Amino acid sequence: MLADGTRIQILWALIDGEMPVNELAATIGKPGPSVSQHLAKLRMARLVRTRRDGTQIFYQLENDHVRQLLLDAVHNAEHAGPSVPAHHLARSDISPLHGPSDFDGDISTLVDRIDFDHTATGT
78 and 57, same domain (yes or no): no
In the chain, the percentage of residues whose pLDDT exceeds 90 is 54
Distance (Å, whole) CA 54 – CA 58: 10
User: Strand, helix or coil at 122?
Assistant: coil
Q: Which domain holds residue 77?
A: 64-110
- On whether both 19 and 50 belong to a single domain, the answer is yes
* pTM of model > 0.75: no
User: Would residue 70 count as lying in a domain?
Assistant: yes
Residues 11 and 57 in one domain: yes
- Residue 40 forms part of a structural domain: yes
- The two most distant CA atoms of the chain are separated, in Å, by 53
83-108 average pLDDT score: 61
Verify that 55 and 84 share a domain, yes or no. Answer: no
What pLDDT score was predicted for residue 103? 55
**Same domain (yes/no): 16, 52:** yes
The pLDDT value recorded for residue 87 is 73
